[in-house]
A and B are shown apart, each in its own frame.
Chain A
Amino acid sequence: MAEVQTSIQDIDANGKPAKVIRFAGQLDETNVDMEAKKIYEVIDGMVEPNLILDLEGLTYMNSKSIGYVTDWYSRTAAKNGRIVIARPRPNILDILKVVGITQIIPIHDTVDEAKLALGTVVAAKE
């Protein structure tokens, strides 16, 4: 069975509450449904969910986990929130590109860049 750790950290993005969700390990058929529930709880618990998915520690993700990311994107957008991705490894970026997710969700090289992008967009809405 693949192992994955998910941690969630509260941050401030230009005065707006946001969260960094860090994945480490492998997301595959054996664990992705369980991990996805945690993210749905985060989205449900925020008025305006602004999320950074920090993928630095993620070494594998399957098509179903990518499907969940797109569903989180839709759910956050429905609540006027936003998702950005930070620090994907080359193989993760490769698979995100091949399914077209990079056309939908912005990718950033660092968490600070992602935070800035999230904050800038949030600030621009005000």
Chain B
Amino acid sequence: MEGQATPTFIGDPITADSVVSKSLTMAEAPIKITITIPTNAYFMSGLRDFTMNIVRNMTGFSEQWAYRFQSVIDELVNNAIEFGSAPGQDVKITFLSLKGKSIEIFVEDTGTGPAKKTADELARLVEDRRHVNPLQLTSIRGRGLAQIVANWTDVLEFKNNTEGGMIVHVMKAIESGEQL
């Protein structure tokens, strides 16, 4: 699909801090918010509400994109809960917004989950599923990252962190030519 992110596995570190330091040269400082939640889907409803408020009020993105980012964050964090962090551990979520320009989200797990995947494995899985004809995709799972997140972001990256977990980074720019 046009505008769909290409899942990549990059060598340079992708962290919210590295992006902030690059952004500080710009005229307007980015808004950075970090939230840590326990590995439990119970907290997702509140996180979706939070995302809606942030995107609506602090980013310059439209109401439609506020709803879309609710889904993006939900799928990313559920992925971290399912594959990345064991029960009792945490998932760290960082929002980074340059108002009127872009939103970035970083979701970091601890790599302790029983169904842990490496960044390379997850990138490959997403790549395999992103072009599947919906008429042929009959499984209940497999649409979150590969279709929802990939279609609604410009960048989708997976990176192993130094502690054994993974960081998933997404970015959506307002200047991408879409009606935001």
Please give the residue numbers on chain A whose beta carbons come within 8 Å of chain B beta carbons, in ascending order. 1-2, 26, 28-30, 60, 62-64, 66-68, 70-71, 74, 90-91, 94-95, 98-101, 103-104
Contact = CB atoms under 8 A, between A and B. Distances in A.
B139 A2 contact: no
Interface string B118-160: 0000000000000001110111111110011001100000000
Q: Max chain B CB contacts within 10 Å: which of A1, A70, A100?
A: A100
B71 interface: yes
Contacts of B135: 100, 103-104
Interface of B: 41-42, 44-45, 48, 64, 67-68, 70-71, 74-75, 78, 81, 133-135, 137-144, 147-148, 151-152
Contacts of B81: 29
A70 to B, nearest CB: 7
Contacts of A74: 138
Given A62-B78, A63-B148, A100-B147, A30 B45 contact: yes
Q: Which 9 A-B pairs have the closest CB atoms?
A: A100-B134, A67-B140, A91-B67, A63-B144, A29-B41, A63-B143, A2-B45, A99-B147, A99-B143
Nearest to B71: A95
Given A63-B141, A99-B143, A30 B44 contact: yes
B137 A70 contact: yes
Given A2-B44, A2-B45, A99-B147, A94 B68 contact: yes
B140 A68 contact: yes
B64 A98 contact: no
B134 A29 contact: no
A29 B78 contact: yes
Contacts of A70: 134, 137-138, 140
Contact of B44 (A28, A90, A91, A94): A28
Nearest to B45: A2
A6 to B, nearest CB: 17
Nearest to A98: B151
Contacts of B144: 62-64
Given A30-B42, A62-B74, A98-B152, A90 B134 contact: no
A103 B134 contact: yes
Given A94-B68, A98-B152, A104-B135, A64 B45 contact: no
A1 to B, nearest CB: 5
Contacts of A29: 41, 44, 78, 81
B41 A28 contact: yes
26 contacts: A2-B44, A2-B45, A28-B41, A28-B45, A29-B44, A30-B41, A30-B44, A60-B74, A62-B71, A62-B75, A62-B78, A63-B141, A63-B143, A63-B144, A63-B147, A63-B148, A64-B141, A70-B134, A70-B137, A70-B138, A74-B138, A91-B67, A95-B71, A98-B152, A99-B134, A100-B137
